[in-house]
Amino acid sequence: MAKENSASPKYHQLEAKRKRLTWILVACGLCVLCYVLGAWQSNTPVPQSEVYQRVGCDDANGSGDHQSLSTPSLSSQSSDSDVTLDFESHHGIEIDTSKASVSFPPCDMSYSEYTPCQDPTRSKKFDRDMLKYRERHCPAKEEQLRCLIPAPPRYKSPFKWPQSRDYAWYDNIPHKELSIEKAVQNWIQVEGDRFRFPGGGTMFPRGADAYIDDISELIPLTNGEIRTAIDTGCGVASWGAYLLKRDILAMSFAPRDTHEAQVQFALERGVPAMIGVMASQRLPYPARSFDMAHCSRCLIPWEKYDGLFLLEVDRVLRPGGYWILSGPPIRWRKYWKGWERTQEDLKQEQDAIEDVAKRQCWKKVIEKDDLAIWQKPMNHIQCIKSRQTYKTPHICKSENPDAAWNNNMDTCITPLPEVSNSDEVAGGELKKWPERAMAVPPRITSGSVKGVNAQKLKEDNEMWKERVSHYEHIVGSFDQGRFRNVMDMNAYLGGFAAALLKYPVWVMNVVPANSNRDTLGVIYERGFIGTYQDWCEAFSTYPRTYDLIHAGALFSIYQDRCDISDILLEMDRILRPEGTVIFRDTVDVLVKIQGITDGMRWKSQIMDHESGPFNPEKILLAVKSYWTGGTSAQKQGQDS
């Protein structure tokens, strides 16, 4: 029996080769057929609806314009083969471009210093009891202005810090009232085309610097224990201005029109300040925010309304924090004639203040010359026991002490977090400044802020270092004096402020009042300042008070709550001419924003995320154009 030749092909192998050859021939045939059909179709006339008009990029000016989009192409090589191309996004989210062509006119010059929620005309309609008429009373939707607040006709960029602490241009805030009314007290002086701020005050005629030195002899101001302060009834904020060189950051506030434009002067100087008043509602700050509170002849009736106002100071004062009082009634034996009050009246007022302070468990540290200082306890162990002696005020029951937006003050003592012994600091002890800025705040350590831990804080800090480095490439260095007053409209953990610490700027950290996570307490525990704010309403400040505004993911939060054009108009109001805004959001939201800001005479550009083009979050960089009121404003409004 013969053996099978192993070198000869088997039957199944020959069959496989034939099948492969057949498939190759079929594929080649299909390719030839498709080519023939395509060539035949290209010679068939295209319906007019499918023809697109080529954008003319080579016009006389070297760039295309809107007219070229509807002009037939002059290129014979492509005119008969062009088809409609759809460049629109198909992600399911519609972008409302209906407002892109809206141009906002300038407001009348009478609105140059308009403060929507503290309008003196509107405030007359409200109760004058407890100064309620000076609280926030925002306009209804139909009352809101849909125009751009004009700058004064000869407005110029403010002096750079630190020169701005001592000087401001008269044309920017043309009010001489304070220089006349407070001439003896050296608040402010007019020198030619500018104001000079000598640093004086009602109770510190030798200057704020010497006054602060007097305080420093009584309590520790230079060892880092005191970082945040609040100045009630701040004047032109000279106390806060001179605390800055001691690394103490003060939130100064005063009501609108007690003295003309005092908060406006403070911000023009580059000093943190807000319009505010001690009336019926809580101050817009969380509990345990400030290391020190100050009143220098602030004219607040501390002893009235069952000690309501002093109880509010207690709420925002940190455990172990200090309250400093100068002016009436302190040292009444010396000043009673100048204050035009009787000795009996002044003594009665001081005795009443002493009683309120004692009942809310404060200890009087010292009274020396023009100063009296009290200290809040480190915890409430003894204070709770003392309620057997003092029936009023009682300890507040089951209420969020941080809930400060549109909430009324209470005539009760805000409870401190529980402690295990009398030496423990309620809520946790804070590090000294500057270590405090990067240390993990007690609110995070205790887990009181949901979803935030030490690792997330660290990651947030690293992210902001990278962001600020990127911003310096697109807006310029932060240490050249272009920016001084900075606002973060959605501050989260205060990472932006922390990354800017080495620069000569300060940051108003804003936490939206209707945010899912209340992080403002964390920001204060890091040694920064800020406020709650509902951005469907106007901010408590004068026009033209911020150099740089940051809005990260803010409009994604608010686009379904209110008209975002109202928020943008408010940003335009508080932004200085030639000021900068940095938006961070999705492309859809940024395109919508850009369509509105184009009608506000802002110049803007959408840029990639610092990590590259594949990140869905983008950056919109915008700069407000310089323009002023009067004739030029009307002309520019017509031109636009």
Residue 444 pLDDT grade (very low, low, confident, very high; cuts 50, 70, 90): very high
The whole-number pLDDT of residue 202 equals 74
Contact 159, 167 (CB under 8 A): yes
Distance CA 640, CA 638 (A): 5
Could you report the per-residue pLDDT of 250-301, keeping only the tens digit for each? 999 999 875 567 899 999 999 999 999 999 999 999 999 999 999 999 989 9
Q: Which range, of 38-47, 137-146, 537-546, 557-566, averages the lowest pLDDT?
A: 38-47
Residue 15 pLDDT grade (very low, low, confident, very high; cuts 50, 70, 90): low
Q: Containing H/E element for 180?
A: helix 177-181
Distance CA 97, CA 88 (A): 13
Segments in 7-105 forming alpha helices (H): 11-42
User: Which tops the pLDDT comparison, 570 or 636?
Assistant: 570
Q: Give per-residue burial for 589-606: e unless 16+ CB within 10 Å, then b.
A: bbbbbbbbbbbbbbebee
pLDDT greater than 90 at residue 528: yes
User: Which tops the pLDDT comparison, 100 or 410?
Assistant: 410
Domains in the chain with CATH codes = 203-429 (3.40.50.150), 437-624 (3.40.50.150)
Going from the C-alpha of 149 to that of each of 100, 121, 633, the distances in angstroms are: 20, 17, 10
Q: What are phi and psi of 253, to 5 degrees?
A: -145, 155
pLDDT greater than 70 at residue 507: yes
Q: What are phi and psi of 201, to 5 degrees?
A: -160, 170
pLDDT greater than 80 at residue 38: no
Cis, bond preceding 284 (omega within 30 deg of 0): no
- Write down the residue that tokens 């108003």 correspond to: 508
Sheet of 194-196: strands edge to edge? 167-169, 194-196, 189-191
Contact 228, 290 (CB under 8 A): yes
The whole-number pLDDT of residue 188 equals 85
The whole-number pLDDT of residue 261 equals 79
Which parts of 158-244 are beta strand (E)? Answer: 167-169, 189-191, 194-196, 228-232
The whole-number pLDDT of residue 39 equals 55
pLDDT greater than 70 at residue 2: no
> Hey, what long-range contacts does 134-138 have (CB within 8 A, 24 or more apart)?
134/255, 134/256, 134/277, 134/279, 135/277, 135/279, 135/280, 135/281, 136/281, 136/537, 136/540, 138/537, 138/538
User: Which tops the pLDDT comparison, 371 or 67?
Assistant: 371
Q: Which range, of 13-22, 67-76, 466-475, 503-512, averages the lowest pLDDT?
A: 67-76
Average pLDDT, the chain: 86
| Encoded amino acid at 471, one letter | Y
Share of the chain above pLDDT 70, in %: 82
DSSP 623: E
Distance CA 41, CA 39 (A): 6
Distance CA 382, CA 419 (A): 12
pLDDT greater than 50 at residue 7: no
User: Which tops the pLDDT comparison, 510 or 83?
Assistant: 510
Q: What's the Rg (C-alpha) of the chain?
A: 33
- Got the DSSP string for 253-307? EE-TTSSTTHHHHHHHTT--EEE---SSBPPSS-TT-EEEEEEES----TTSGGG
pLDDT greater than 70 at residue 581: yes
pLDDT greater than 70 at residue 70: no
